[in-house]
């Protein structure tokens, strides 16, 4: 069976990483969470007190991002060798990531690394610009979507589980989801948009298993094609 590139794009908190991870395990492919890379740059900026774009751009050569596979199959993000998986998942870092992702030089810096990771194919990558900018030639592009309310509810539960101390209301999370959607779709640099040849998967009403079965079918059809 031929190896392909699977590009998964979509709004924040619509389950991109869940389906990307499931599909990568099913196919025996490598999974890359590009949101984690933007989050790692944001964390670096926060930790070093870099707020101006120029300072962040100048510091990029000092930012080394890797992924370390864990025994449970989940990959942890490493920033300059340090495991920052938990630190990058806060709402604060997410918001900062949305800001740093608007800087052209940050995007160029990360996109180059992402393209290098896909050189041998056999990769599932998720983000906002994977099917449009990083791999416009990807053999399979999925565009995931769900209503803002459903996504806020999922994110709210996730935050409660992960950072119990971070007490945010559902309304605050919904507000944040709407804000982030606006920024992701309206920025000048590689705004989130659906590639023309992407398959749209609206998972508002789909169970995880239902979505996985659907996506596996699409994947099997694509890899069966000569």
Judged by the rule CB under 6 A, the positions of this chain that interact with ligand DC are 12, 34-35, 38-39, 94, 97-98, 101, 127-129, 180, 184
- The CA–CA distances, whole Å, from 134 to 64, 71, 114, 115 equal 19, 29, 7, 6
CB of 226 to ligand DC, least distance (A): 30
**Closer CB to ligand DC, residue 39 or residue 154?**
39
Which residue is it, tokens 């389950």?
Answer: 15
Q: Which two structure tokens, joined as six digits, stand for 22?
A: 């499931």
Task: Dihedral sign for Cα 162, 174, 20, 38, please.
Answer: negative
Query: Starting from the edge strand earliest in sequence, which strands make up the sheet with 82-83, in order?
Result: 65-69, 75-79, 82-83
Distances (CA, A) of 9 to 3, 92, 124, 130: 20, 22, 11, 6
CB closer to ligand DC out of 29 and 176: 176
Smallest distance from ligand DC to CB 59, Å = 18
Least distance from ligand DC to the Cβ atom of residue 180, Å: 5
> What SS3 class is residue 204?
coil
Q: Closest Cα to residue 80, out of 41, 108, 33?
A: 41
Q: Choose between 12 and 22: whose C-beta lies nearer to ligand DC.
A: 12
Closest CB 125 distance from ligand DC, rounded Å:
8
- To ligand DC, the closest distance from the beta carbon of 83 in angstroms equals 17
Nearer to ligand DC (CB atom), residue 112 or residue 217: 112
Cβ closer to ligand DC: 35 or 148?
35
């Amino acid at each position: 069976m031929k190896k392909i590139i699977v590009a998964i794009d979509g709004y924040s908190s619509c389950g991109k990483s869940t389906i990307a991870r499931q599909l990568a395990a099913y196919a025996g492919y490598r999974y890359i969470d590009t949101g984690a890379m933007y989050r790692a740059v944001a964390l670096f900026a926060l930790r070093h007190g870099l707020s101006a774009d120029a300072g962040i751009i100048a510091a990029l050569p000092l930012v080394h991002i890797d992924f370390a596979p864990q025994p449970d199959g989940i990959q942890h993000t490493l920033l300059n060798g340090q495991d920052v998986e938990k630190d990058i998942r806060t709402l604060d870092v997410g918001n900062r990531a949305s800001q740093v992702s608007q800087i052209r030089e940050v995007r160029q810096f990360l996109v180059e690394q992402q393209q290098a990771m896909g050189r041998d194919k056999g990769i599932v990558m998720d983000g906002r610009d994977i099917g449009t900018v990083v791999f416009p030639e990807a053999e399979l592009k999925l565009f995931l979507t769900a209503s803002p309310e459903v996504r806020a509810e999922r994110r709210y539960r996730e935050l409660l589980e992960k950072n119990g101390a971070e007490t945010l209301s559902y309304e605050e999370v919904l507000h944040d989801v709407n804000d982030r959607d606006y920024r992701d779709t309206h920025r000048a640099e590689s705004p989130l948009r659906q590639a023309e040849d992407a398959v749209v998967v609206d998972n508002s009403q789909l169970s995880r298993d239902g979505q996985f079965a659907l996506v596996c079918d699409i994947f099997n059809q694509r890899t069966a094609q000569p």
